[in-house]
Amino acid sequence: MGICFSRRPSAASAPGQEEVLFFPDPAMPCYRALYGKPCRRANCKYTHELTSLVRLLLEIRKARRTLVVCVFTITCTEIADEIVAAAKERGVKVRVITDDVKMDDQGSKAFDLKAKGIRVRHDHNSLSHMHHKFAVVDNKTLLNGSFNWTRGAVLNNRENVVISHNPALVRAFCGEFNKLWALYGG
């Protein structure tokens, strides 16, 4: 199959346009700055810099047609909000796969995403984990690495995300997503 939805990766997506994001970030981003608004705080404790999390959010924000997310856990509010915004504000078709055990963790956003109309599936085996950490934007951009989509990973962990436009990699990860989506169906 090799595609996340019905379209193939764009011919304009060329290999060699990779970028690597490294974590931890110095602070969480200022919410107002994330949306291009001036910060009103005199001594804002949040960052106004282009951090790794901000770059990741900007890649998710580029989604216009499809966004598939296959991650072990999602507890980072900023990422969950961006996923919801893709679906609700831009009409992006969003699908999420996560781990069944992590869905029940305190702070997990999986049920919040479901409550907001995002299609979420999970594995059905508490003895093993759905441990992937990747997303594909519009069948042309792969976000993949060690990064758990958690606030702790943003601020504390040595993590990475590779942003790739390599069509062969995009196809491979879309194929894996589709295989798991079918496996965890229902």
Structural domain boundaries, residue 100: 19-183
Encode pLDDT of 102-149 as tens digits. 999 999 999 999 999 999 999 998 889 999 999 999 999 999 999 999
Number of structural domains the chain divides into: 1
Q: Provide the 8-state DSSP code for 149.
A: B
Residue 179 placed within a domain: yes
pLDDT for 6 equals 40
pLDDT for 16 equals 66
Encode pLDDT of 58-85 as tens digits. 999 999 999 999 999 999 999 999 999 9
Three-class secondary structure of residue 21 per DSSP: strand
Residue 8 placed within a domain: no
Residue 174 placed within a domain: yes
The residues annotated with a catalytic role in the active site are 131, 133, 138
Q: Quick check: 1 pLDDT over 90?
A: no
pTM: 0.90
Residue 106 placed within a domain: yes
pLDDT for 34 equals 86
For residue 36, the domain's CATH number is: 3.30.870.10
Largest CA distance in the chain: 52
Residue 5 placed within a domain: no
pLDDT for 32 equals 87
Answer for the pair 11, 170: CB distance below 8 angstroms, yes or no: no
Q: Token pair of 21, please?
A: 């994001």
